[in-house]
Amino acid sequence: MYAALFSVLFLIVGVLVGWIAQDKYNEFVMFKRHDFEELFEENPHPEIYDKNGKIYRGDYVAITFEPGYDPEEFDPEDIYLDEDY
């Protein structure tokens, strides 16, 4: 009788532990690194969090200004996208 009781108990515990371990393993395997993942880890700005407090890993725009850039001399022809390279 005790053997059957312990067998069922260990079966239930084993199924639950296996289910949780499989879920965590799938989450680890399916994780895709974002282009700005280093920024998210090192210096997360408040504006990258969504309304639930989780980091939004969607699309972002990165703008780089050359040293000495003068906005008064802006020319729309100077705009290029990373895809243009």
Q: Parse the chain into domains and list their residue ranges.
A: 2-84
pLDDT at residue 3 in the model = 92
pLDDT at residue 82 in the model = 60
Amino acid in the structure at residue 85: Y
In contact, 5 and 12? CB cutoff 8 Å: no
Q: Which residue, 9, 27, 6, is CA-closest to 17?
A: 9
pLDDT at residue 75 in the model = 77
Regarding pTM above 0.85, the answer is no
Range 59-63 contact pairs with CB under 8 angstroms and sequence separation of 24 or more:
60/35, 60/36
Run means of pLDDT, 10 residues per run, the chain, 85 residues: 93 96 91 74 79 81 79 76 56
In contact, 32 and 26? CB cutoff 8 Å: no
User: 29-49 burial string, b = 16+ CB within 10 Å, else e?
Assistant: eeeeeeeeeeeeeeeeeeebe
pLDDT at residue 64 in the model = 78
pLDDT at residue 83 in the model = 59
